[in-house]
Each structure stands twice: as structure tokens, then as C-alpha cells.
Amino acid sequence: MSLRLITLFLTVCMITAHCFAEDNVVIATVNGEDITVDMMATELERIHSAQSGAVDRSDFSLEKLLNRLINDKLILHDAYALGLDQEKTVVDAVRWFRETSAYQMLLEDIQPKDWNIPEDELRAGFNRYYRRVMLRLICVIDSSLSASIADSIRAGVSMASLATHHSIDKFKTLGGDAGIYPLYDIPEDLSRQLESASPGDLFGPMFLWNTWTVVRAEAFLPPDEAIYDSVTVVIRKQLLIDKGADFRRGFIAANAAGIPVWIDTAAVDSIPIRMAQAIDESKRPVMRIGKSRELTAYDLKNKYVHRIVGRSDRDNQRVLWETLDEQYQVMMLKEIAGRRDYVEDPRLDAEASVFRDSMMVVQYLQSVIGPTVKVTDDEVKTFYDANPDRFVAPGRIRVAIITRNTLEEAQADYEKILAGADFTWIAEQFSIDEYKVRGGLRDWANLSQFPRELAVQLETAELGTCFPPLAGSDGFAVMRLVEREPGTRRTLADATPSIKSMLEQQKQIVTIENMINDLRADADIQINETALRELQVSGPAEN
């Protein structure tokens, strides 16, 4: 079966119509609490949405599904009996859930639902989002190399020649000429900057397309009128998103009077500097909304890192303040929703109850099951001694590489070496990478750094073996195995954390099963066998 989501539907077979006079049939009761068809359907949908790979239909048998819900009920009943619903972790989490849901409900109540996008706005959106730009780019693996390339371009070095020499993308042979693209089809971090750019503006390094990229806008062109009718739906959706963002900003501005706002701008500005110095952020507040709603330096740093991870566009200060602005809007909306009593709105009760129950199951596993699971040093050592092959670090090798621009050049070098030519001399004369002065000799590297198929060959081949040309990041490579060191067994101290984690997980599973069996023994569980038989899990056949 291919890796895909399989659509599954829970259906009720009405074999005996009078059996199901009510829409929501009770399938079982656990200590007097019902488990219904709707609850089974909801759980099945949750399992389905969390499944990301190949699945088997047997994974969704009704018996398994019902037992899962019964076990959850038993854990919840025990958790309530232990008073876990009053623990601060659960109370704070439920409060956070209600506040988050409250401001979202506030927006649903106040935001217009009948916005119209007239033709002139559609046309303006088309001109904005589908304006075309001719791009030249250089993609490399190394961020420091990308930064050096950007500096060289700004110093006047030809971008086309640098692309031909360094780039690893398909535009390398074209001097980096990537063609013409509408702004809407360009990654957002780049397209936003291109909106106000001029021909010749350089951007980056930025982490785009899984590489470090330097981009230059060569020219701008108007949108392609031929696609207008086919993209109006997309434009309308984007303009509605824009209207929603503008509405929220206007709503906050109109309702911010009387709500105190404090921001420590110096502390905000220092976050990138402290990150560069590897200084951990504290829980000190950098923004306060109202009397007690705070954003800490630690939380802002984490959200900021999420925004900039993999980026090096030298404009991270702008991203930092954009991140702060996002948090300002959320906190203001939460404050306004709280002042309008949305947090206690009864419309939130059902979802908040489900969320509380999920948090209590987590808390139960952590505070009730967790402390009972212990793994001793002797158990770790016994597992380590019994599984020696599982704790061997990969070996190291040294290779020499000749890098060439084309496959034909690399193939010619390979054939000459097989015929007796000196590898080192060819590398020094013709290789295009920085290791040519060393005859192509590279530093020691772990076998795990190589593709699996190649690593297997490198582990067994004779020293001096020369491999046929391979496609590399800088061109085409001819590789020779120079030295090899066998892998060494990891020490017990090094392997202990992973062994302990695995054994704890295994013990936890056994402990949970035993605990559930004990809870079942003392529980009053009634199953509606007739209704259960008349349910079936149905879905499309495999392709």
C-alpha cells in the first residue's frame, strides 16, 4: 500500500430500525457513563487524521476502538478520583485553552462574514500578487559559502560566473538564470521583499528549496493576462485573508483604549545578541498587556527562532519585531475577549471538557504511572552486554576527490586513473574545489555521512579503490578510498541514556496494561452487543 491517508467512515447499519430510535446510539457504559456511536466516530476520525503512513484496515476494528475508549474512561475515572483535575498543570492548561478559544470565538462573532471583493480589488490583487520577476540565483549547501558569495556579488564579482562555479541547482549551467515567476509562486519570505524591490536588488543568503540561496531580481514584468480568469478564486481567498488581518488590526486599535501596554524594547532588541553569545533567556517579561498578561524573553526567543530557523537574510531584527507584533495582537485579543467574558462563555464548555480530559490522561501517565517505572543500572548493563552489535559506532574513512563541472570530464579522469594515471596529479591540475591543493584529500569522515549504498562499498572495498563518477554538490566527483578505521563499540556510559529510555518505555507499556486490567476488574462495564454487531467500518478499496 502506498503511503497515503485512507479515508474511513464509521457507519451505522440500520438492520433493525426500532433498535435505533435515537440518533446517537449507546454502545457501552463504563461505571454508568455512556460511550456512544458519535464518540466512536470522533475517535476514529482523530486516529485517521493522525495517521501519516500506510495503514491496515484491521487497525480500525470496532473491538479495538471500543476497548480504547473504555480504557480511556477508566483512566479518567481514576484520575478524577485522585483529584488530578485540580492540579495546577491541568488547571493552567485548561485556562490557556479557554482563553485561546475565547478570542477565536470573539473574532467569529464580530468579523463580517459577507465581505465582497469587487472587480477593481480583484484586478489590483492580480497586479500585486501575479507581478512577474526574472530571477538569478545561486544555491549552495554551506551557509558561510553563501554569505561569501553574496559579499562577492556586492563587491562587483559576476553573479553568472559565481553561479556557474558554485551553484548546485539546475540553473548552474545557465549562470543562475532561473527564469520568470509570478510573486505568488515564490516563497513568502522572498516574495514579500520582492514586492518593493527594484531591478538589481540582491537578497540573501536565505534558506530556500533546502539550500542556502542568494537571489537577485533581474527585471520585473506585468502579470500574464492570459491566466487572470483561472486565478481569481485564489486571489479572492488571499484578499479575504488580507481583509481579515486588516479588520483584526482595526478592531484592536478601536478597543485598546484603557488597556495598558508595556514593552521593554531594549530587552527585545538584545535577544539576537544574546542568542549569538549562547546566553539562555530568562523568564523576565518583555511585554505586558493589561495587569498580568505577560510575554517573557524566553517565549519570544522561541517563537522568533521558529520564524528564522534556516534563514540568514541579515534582516532578522525585522523578523523579531514582526514576531513581537504577532504576539501583541494575540495577547490584545485575549485581553479584550476576557474583558467581554468570552472565557467563561458556555459555548466553550464542551470542547474545554474534552481538552481537560486529554490533559488528565497525560497527567495521569506522568504523575501516577511514571514514578512507578524504574530501570536499574544492572538492567541497562544486561541489555548492553546481550546486544553488542547494536552499540557499534560507524567507522571512519578518508577519501580523495576530483571534482569536475561535467560528467564527461569526470568519466575521462576516471578512465585515465584506471589506466595508471596519478590521481593526485589530476586533482591538483583539474579539480574545481578547494581541496585541489591537497591532491583532493579530504578530512576524516564517518561512514554514516555517506549514502547507505556507497557507505557499504567504502566499508569493504580495498584501500586505493577508485569509484566511478558520482553527482555531487559542486559537480561530478571521482572518489578514491585512501584510509579506513573500523567502527568502535560505544561505551556503556555513552549508550546508557538510549537504553534506559527504551527500557522505560517498554516497562511503561506493561505497567499501563496491568493498571488497566486492575481497573477493569473493579469496573462496571456494559456493552451493547446488538448495537456493536450492527456497526461496521467501511472505506474505499486499496488502489
In-domain check, residue 112: no
Query: Which amino acid belongs to residue 413?
Result: D
Query: 511 and 439 share a domain?
Result: no
Report the domain count for the chain.
5
Do residue 515 and residue 543 come from a single domain?
no
d(CA 99, CA 331): 10
Question: Which of 12-26, 72-86, 124-138 has the lowest average pLDDT?
Answer: 12-26
The reply to whether 475 and 505 lie within a common domain is: no
Residues 504 and 523 in one domain: yes
pLDDT at residue 217, as a whole number:
94
Domain boundary among 201, 222, 243: 222
Domain of residue 289: give its range: 256-339
Residue 175 sits in a domain of what CATH number?
A: 3.10.50.40
Q: How far is the C-alpha of 209 from the C-alpha of 423, rounded, in Å?
A: 35
- pLDDT tens-digit readout, 355-405: 999 899 889 988 888 899 999 999 999 999 999 888 887 788 999 999 998
Question: Can you give the pTM of this predicted structure?
Answer: 0.64
Lowest mean pLDDT among 48-57, 131-140, 334-343: 48-57
Query: Is residue 283 scored above 70 in pLDDT?
Result: yes
Residue 137 lies in a domain: yes
508 and 437 within one domain: no
Residue type, 216: R
**Is the pLDDT at 448 greater than 90, yes or no?**
no
Statement: residue 220 has pLDDT above 60: yes
Tell me, yes or no, whether 378 and 453 share the same domain: no
Characterize 201-218 residue by residue with b for buried, 16 or more Cβ atoms within 10 angstroms of its Cβ, and e for exposed. eebbbbbbeebbbbbbbb
- Residue pair 429/440 in contact (Cβ under 8 Å)? The answer is no
Asked if residue 31 and residue 47 are part of one domain, the reply reads yes
Q: Could you tell me which residues are beta bridge partners of residue 132? A: 182, 221
Predicted local confidence at residue 58, as pLDDT: 53
Residue 241 lies inside a defined structural domain of this protein: no
Distance CA 158, CA 288 (A): 49
More confident: 276 or 99: 99
Number of Cβ atoms within 10 Å of the Cβ of 403: 23
**382 and 422 both lie in a single domain:** no
Distance between CA atoms of residues 8 and 64, nearest Å: 15
Give the domain-ending residue among 180, 204, 222: 222
Cross-strand pairs, 294:
288
> Do the beta carbons of residue 294 and residue 268 sit within 8 Å?
no
Same domain (yes/no): 207, 139: yes
Quick one: 331 and 185 in the same domain? no
Q: How many CA atoms lie within 13 A of 15 on its CB side?
A: 8
Confidence of residue 434 (pLDDT cuts 50, 70, 90): confident
Give yes or no: residues 499 and 468 share one domain. Answer: no
**What does the alpha-carbon distance between residue 224 and residue 132 come to, in Å, rounded to a whole number?**
8
Is residue 182 within 8 Å of 114, Cβ to Cβ? no
Regarding whether 260 and 310 lie in a shared domain, the answer is yes
85, 70, 80, 89: which is closest to 29 by C-alpha? 70
Q: What is the pLDDT of residue 23?
A: 58
Cis amide bond preceding 112, omega within 30: no
Mean pLDDT of 113-124: 90
Is 515 a domain residue?
yes
Name residues whose C-beta falls within 8 Å of residue 104's C-beta, 6 or more positions apart in sequence: none
pLDDT band at 499 (very low <50, low <70, confident <90, very high): very high
Q: What is the pLDDT of residue 51?
A: 55
Flag whether pLDDT at 139 surpasses 70. Answer: yes
pLDDT given for residue 310 in this prediction:
52
- Answer with the residue of higher pLDDT: 6 or 181: 181
| Boundary residue ending a domain (177, 200, 222) | 222
What is the β-pairing status of strands 293-296 and 396-404? unpaired
CA gap 60, 536 in Å, rounded: 10
Asked whether residue 317 is domain-assigned, the answer is yes
Could you tell me whether strands 535-538 and 466-472 are parallel, antiparallel, or unpaired per DSSP bridges? unpaired
